[in-house]
Amino acid sequence: MDFRRLFRLSATGLTAAVLLVSGCTSGGSSSGGASPESGAPTELKKFYGQKLGWRECGVPGFQCATMKAPLDYDKPNGTEIKLAVARKKATGPGKRLGSLQVNPGGPGGSAIDYLQGYAGIGYPAPVRARYDMVAMDPRGVARSAPVECFTGPEMDAYTQVDQTPDDMAERDLLAASYKKLAQGCEKRAAEVLPHVSTVEAARDMDIFRAVVGDKKLMYVGASYGTFLGATYAELFPTRVGRLVLDGAMDPSLPSAELNRDQTAGFETAFQAFAADCVKQPDCPLGSGSPADAGRRMKDFFNDLDTKPIPTGEQRELGESLATTGVINAMYDESGWPGLRDSLRSAMDGDGSGLLALADSYYEREGDGSYTNLMYANAAVNCLDLPAGFTRPAEVEKALPSFEKASPVFGTGFAWASLNCAYWPTKATGTPHRIEAKGAPPILVVGTTRDPATPYKWAQSLAEQLSSGVLLTYDGDGHTAYGRGSDCVDTAINTYLLEGTPPKNGKKC
């Protein structure tokens, strides 16, 4: 298990992909010239004025290009990096409103994969009709100067390290695995590692806004993508158009508190799963109360800690991989039936189902390689905020509070909070309130039983933003847009198409 404050991708994107103000924006030319009112500082004019060479790529109907940005914004005439971008032109009918940037979260999720696998084909038709759907893999992610850290076999070993250490030897092994990850990233990505912060990614977004010809940013960000969007609004409040922040983060919280809140969020999601499971005739956790189901789940994890089970391949299913598999199914209630099946098989001695869920979480490919999701995740998180804990003794002191937050997952989440302690680059960000004074209405969306971004974070962000508007979805799963609620989708569509947000505090 390796959560590392992983806010993760939009649940809708995970399900659908192979693997989310007023006034209109300027039209923008197909050549991608910068808007005359891009507001670019003199030293950045060459980036804001660049033209993109769009070409057909990957999925029919989508175009890709490469955009340049400075590696270090303090040294704009120094090293440049190439960022991958993609678009799907507005289909019509109706007047084109500009470009709608999307980001699925992570940090570390590929926005281009999300665009091609879901947003560009699965967002409501009226939105796709009026907007060019566009995406940029953030710096350090996927196709954009990616952070690389491990070989496939090294990552296999890393994902199997016991993250609920029972003694000093296991504690040392866990700490050593975090150190090895940090060393691997430093060895393979030393140049880019200090420059993958969310602030820098938000500045890249503004260049992208300009080169596609938009005066204002139109944006839908899910999960971590809400922090990216809020950071943009903080940096460029007068360039905000219509921002949807779905499954919101709270930028004011320190890392340890974020981790503890997320621990409680996954416990809430597990209790919802357990309450549903015990009503089913095939529930592998029994037919008692949700609390009984939780105790049986914990007992099962403990059994795997001492005696892993076969999976049909060389890797066995131990506690860490099994817990990761269960966590993966908590992001979307549509995964509950499959989780019941996988748990039942595992309790009968076949761990292949839970292993497949864990591999999906880590984005492990069929050939044993991995995408760089987890490496980028650590790199961005460890740069954005100081480590939650700096040494094992601090984790041990905090264990009771994490175990109270989640009897099922608390111990593992607490130890996962140690990973940034050994990171080779010093954090450049700090927890702080984001107000974005001067921005037009920004729509913040929260789901009441969201596991990865607890609902109270959405409440907090909407309160912090000077123009924040809160939309609540009373439901399960991670994020709300495009997940089956006509009430949510109608409110967001109206905002994106007409610039009219719902009444603050609206509930669906």
Q: Is the pLDDT score of 205 beyond 80? A: yes
Q: Is the pLDDT score of 19 beyond 50? A: no
pLDDT number for residue 37:
46
3-state secondary structure 144-188: ECCCCCCCHHHHHHHHCCCCCCCCHHHHHHHHHHHHHHHHHHHHH
Q: Which residues are catalytic?
A: 223, 450, 478
Residue with tokens 């607890």: 454
| pLDDT bracket for residue 27 (50, 70, 90) | very low
| pLDDT bracket for residue 59 (50, 70, 90) | confident
Q: Which of 10-24, 169-183, 235-249, 362-376 has the lowest mean pLDDT?
A: 10-24
> Of 259, 234, 229, nearest to 247 (Cα)?
229
| pLDDT bracket for residue 5 (50, 70, 90) | very low
pLDDT number for residue 41:
82
| Amino acid letter for position 47 | F
Contact in structure between 114 and 85 (CB atoms under 8 Å) = no
Q: Is the entire prediction scored with pTM above 0.85?
A: yes
In the chain, pLDDT over 90 holds for what percent of residues?
90
Tens of pLDDT, residues 384-397: 999 999 999 999 99
Which two tokens mark 236?
Answer: 């460029």
Kindly state the average pLDDT of the residues 366-378: 96
The residues spanned by each domain of the chain are 21-143+193-252+432-507, 152-166+255-422
**For residues 100 and 214, what is the distance between their CA atoms, to the nearest angstrom?**
10
Tens of pLDDT, residues 457-477: 999 999 999 999 999 999 999
CA-to-CA separations, 24 to 32, 134, 215, 443, in angstroms, rounded: 18, 17, 9, 17
CA-to-CA separations, 233 to 68, 189, 241, 435, in angstroms, rounded: 22, 29, 10, 8
* Dihedral sign from CA coordinates of 399, 404, 405, 409: positive
Q: Is the pLDDT score of 7 beyond 80? A: no
DSSP state, residue 317: B
Q: Is the pLDDT score of 170 beyond 70? A: yes
Tens of pLDDT, residues 437-455: 999 999 999 999 999 999 9
Q: Is the pLDDT score of 12 beyond 90? A: no
**For residues 343 and 347, what is the distance between their CA atoms, to the nearest angstrom?**
6
Residue with tokens 């566009």: 134
In the chain, pLDDT over 70 holds for what percent of residues?
92
Question: Any idea which fold 21-143+193-252+432-507 has?
Answer: Rossmann fold (3.40.50)
Other C-beta atoms lying within 10 Å of the C-beta of residue 166: 12
Mean pLDDT of the chain: 92
> Of 255, 192, 201, nearest to 231 (Cα)?
201
Which two tokens mark 112?
Answer: 């281009």
* Dihedral sign from CA coordinates of 179, 184, 186, 192: negative
Q: How many whole angstroms from its chain centre is CA 206?
A: 20
Residue with tokens 């409501």: 124
Kindly state the average pLDDT of the residues 28-37: 38
| Amino acid letter for position 4 | R
Residue with tokens 């296999």: 156
Q: Is the pLDDT score of 18 beyond 50? A: no
Residue with tokens 């984790």: 395
Tens of pLDDT, residues 256-295: 999 999 999 999 999 999 999 999 999 999 998 999 999 9
pLDDT number for residue 38:
53
